[in-house]
Amino acid sequence: MPTVEPVSPALGARVTDVDLSQELTERQWEEIREAFHRHSVLVFPGQTLSIEDQKRFSRRFGDLLVHEHLLPMTVEGYPECMRLHNDADNPPGLNTWHTDNSGWPDPPLGTVLYAKTTPAIGGDTLFSNMYLAYEKLSPPMQEMLGRLTATHDAKKAFGEDYPELGEMLKKKSIEVDERFGGGKAVHHPIIRTHPETKRKALYISAPYVTSIDGLSAAEGRAILDFLYRHIETNEFVYRHRWQPGDLLIWDNRCLQHYAVADYHPHERLMYRMNILRGEEGRWTTS
């Protein structure tokens, strides 16, 4: 059976004594699934995986997401697998806290990232626990935020506020205006209830959020600025130092993450898959 050991007080666990290149038994799967909901980030060190292996493991959690606008960045024959390659000619992209793809109507349940090549120093990924971020707010703030929604717009993440992402797409012949020009903004509750754990979590994502619905621009900006600082609280955070062969899966419904872009010009190669939705279905409003 897998051995599960916490990696920080806030979140995360290391899972050993399991080979993800092999089919999981039902007992192994139930242990991993329970650990995922308990710890939100699972670290599987020292794995030797093909893309098929990663895909098989990821699909145990739900259907995999394919984004048409990112197909030029995927592995041939695997539209659900993004190849994230950075080196001297391809500097890192997004360098801020976020949760994946919140600018779409149905954001992904989770992300599975496998490390093939890692820099000798730098390139860590930080994770922040949005359960704790919600629970550490005062009751009046929880009550107010629980009644609010925010507007999330995918175009914002690839626009002038985040030029590094736009430049990265252009290198792959992906035109931002062409891909996102007709896209519509979406509205998500600021507080969401996890469908499996039933715990409430803060749900904002700076690259995508444009406003808080129903508030003036000044009011919304003041609240968002506070929340963006709040999620950086050290007691909410686990910092992962990557090694080749690490596979991580994390829960986008209750976490934010930050891939630190401090390793240029060194090489970093990762394979990423997003899990669209599991058997428990969509998130619910608080």
Residues noted as catalytic: 98, 100, 257, 272
Kindly state the DSSP code that residue 70 receives in the 8-state scheme: G
Question: Phi/psi at 15 (nearest 5 deg)?
Answer: -115, 120
Question: Phi/psi at 97 (nearest 5 deg)?
Answer: -65, 140
Kindly state the DSSP code that residue 108 receives in the 8-state scheme: -
Cα separation, 51 vs 17, in Å, equals 21
Cα separation, 50 vs 143, in Å, equals 46
3-class DSSP string for 214-228: CCCHHHHHHHHHHHH
At which residue do the structure tokens 């197909």 appear?
71
In 74-216, which residue ranges form alpha helices assigned H by DSSP? 130-135, 139-145, 154-157, 163-171, 176-180
